[in-house]
Structure 1
């Protein structure tokens, strides 16, 4: 049976891995578009995940912040973070599927920047062919893995050990019996030292 400490390590390491992979897919080349217009030659335009699915960078950074919060969270907050982890994964997968479903629309900002042509119909007429790479599919897989990690956190976090003492909330202890700050102050005002008792 796996110990709680080991489960926590797996959860935190898994969070770092999927966030890093999400960041990696954002930097990869997703599509290669062959552009051309009547009476002119063709040109090839490479489109990265940063253009096709620009939200991936924010999702990757949110995942890293979530790992940091998960490292010090208490049992109840871990459940909230597990749900958030699954939602991040769903959003990564959904963004990637949307880009895969319509690569021309996902690449339209890159086409407009390269050619000056804007508008859905005009951009579509310019694109002669689209070649997909493996990166958008990897992003979908990473999104699904992130959902799985969120479920893992939800299921296993009750067995995780608590965070270290320095992250525990401050608790106030009652004063020692017989201690009275007002009478000590009065004693001091009268010229006596209350600590000499």
Structure 2
């Protein structure tokens, strides 16, 4: 394998790995507790509410799943569509970052729905009055790292996608020899030059006689089925 093709293959696999890792970390972070809210009611009785990432940043799960789907699409995308997907990947990574940063910057607002479910108290001012302290866990910071990884990987697609290897030749049919030309083209060229192509040059042309014999046998069988004599 040429050095440039090997480098392109490594760049492709590394980029896709970064996308998978970033999306997976974002999905993991969304399932973990982000905040522990300690509340004080009017009777000075303290209690705590644990807020999961899926509550503090509701869009994070969908964004992470979209990142995994984008990775699968990149694996089979062509050069032009690859750039479009990469730009979408940058947007996904930025959205993950915004979701995590917004939640951390105002944990009480991000936890409002969980506090309301636990206490029955609604309204921003009333909820803030109930909050005694907020403890931030490790997971929102991991979500920020995940968003940064997605952005870096998507940007790498834009920069290095021209080096990515093209479709494998195993999905193409009837190639003849090392130059990749169809067998019919090599046969026609050999006929124009007055030469007969060798069996080493062709890998598909040698199958033509057997194909014609098979078709003739099928036609003869059909004639016998209809009661006709194929030897006439």
TM-score with structure 2 setting the length? 0.69
**CA distance in structure 2 between the aligned counterparts of 1:165 and 1:115, rounded to whole angstroms:** 63
- 8 Å CA contact retained: 1:93, 1:140: yes
State the aligned residue count: 172
Return closer, same or farther for 1:11/1:39 CA change in 2, 3 Å cut-off.
same
2:51 corresponds to which residue? 47
After superposition, give the CA deviation of every residue in 1:36-90 in whole Å (9 maximum; x if it has no partner). Answer: 1121411011111011001110001100110111000000111111111111110
Deviation at 1:164, TM superposition (A): 4.1
Bigger Rg over Cα = 2
**CA distance in structure 1 between the aligned counterparts of 2:171 and 2:105, rounded to whole angstroms:** 45
- 8 Å CA contact retained: 1:18, 1:145: yes
* Structure having greater relative contact order (Cα 8 Å, sep ≥ 6): 1
2:227 corresponds to which residue? none
Superposed counterparts of 1:178-189, under 5 Å:
none
**CA distance in structure 1 between the aligned counterparts of 2:26 and 2:164, rounded to whole angstroms:** 26
2:79 to 66, 75, 82: 75
Structure 1 residues without counterparts, runs of 5 or longer: 169-197
Tell me the C-alpha RMSD between the 2 structures: 2.2
2:126 to 122, 127, 136: 122
**CA distance in structure 2 between the aligned counterparts of 1:150 and 1:130, rounded to whole angstroms:** 34
1:162 corresponds to which residue? 166
